[in-house]
Amino acid sequence: MRVSSSRCSRSLSRIAGIFLMFTALLSLPGCWVTSIEGLSEAGLLESDKDQTFDAGLIGTWSAKAENCAITLAITAKDQTYQWEETGVGEDCNHDKPKFYYQADLFKLDNHEFLDVTARQEDVCDICRGVHWIFLVQLGKDSFSLAPIDSDWLKNELEHKRVRIATLPDNKYTLTASAKDLKAFCRKYADDKEAFKPDLTFKRK
């Protein structure tokens, strides 16, 4: 997943030594909100009651983001989705031929959210993968991803209309607990300004 705004790059570079920042999936304007914690509240001996699984996400999907054609192959292992992403086009990130992620699906009230992060095997011993939280809508032959809108979040935080923990000098990186992240998602899931659809994948 790509953070293309220079203001985001400067902020994120200060925490790159602590949290694994990986760039890939999309060439999009602006900045995507990331989270240090994910949505899972699972413990060592218990699963998360809100985590769910939909086999409809498994398959090969395609999407177009500006001048980058994306192919996304999704498989699953133990109810966790494994993503393999390939991009073709002049605006794609060509650092590597393929990028890999893992994702978990959560049902919060009447909405479903994907928590996407780095695969465990790609995170170093002293690093931690950040998370992207997406409101997801799955159709018969397509699904759309809506991230937390960064401009909306920054504006709401500045006007104190939203309360959620972030890094002190970076309003685009959430530090809230999984419980608070879920409460945020439940509260704003129907707000089209908070979660703006960015990309729709179609089944190949």
Residue spans of the domains in the chain: they are: 6-35+49-203
- Whether the pLDDT of residue 203 is over 90: the answer is yes
Closest to 54 in 3D by CA, of 74, 38, 71: 74
- Report in angstroms the alpha-carbon separations of 139 from 56, 77, 136: 8, 22, 10
- Whether the pLDDT of residue 24 is over 50: the answer is no
- The structure tokens listed for 37 are 């914690």
- Whether the pLDDT of residue 62 is over 60: the answer is yes
pLDDT value of residue 142: 97
pLDDT value of residue 45: 82
63 contact partners, CB below 8 Å, separation of at least 6: 69, 70, 72, 199, 200, 201, 202
Closest to 74 in 3D by CA, of 29, 36, 105, 38: 105
41, 181 contact by CB (below 8 A): no
- Whether the pLDDT of residue 18 is over 60: the answer is no
pLDDT value of residue 95: 67
Pairwise pLDDT comparison (199 vs 10), residue with the higher score: 199
pLDDT value of residue 124: 81
pTM: 0.85
Q: Where does 148-198 show beta strands of DSSP type E? A: 166-167, 170-174
- Report in angstroms the alpha-carbon separations of 73 from 45, 60, 67, 97: 31, 4, 20, 14
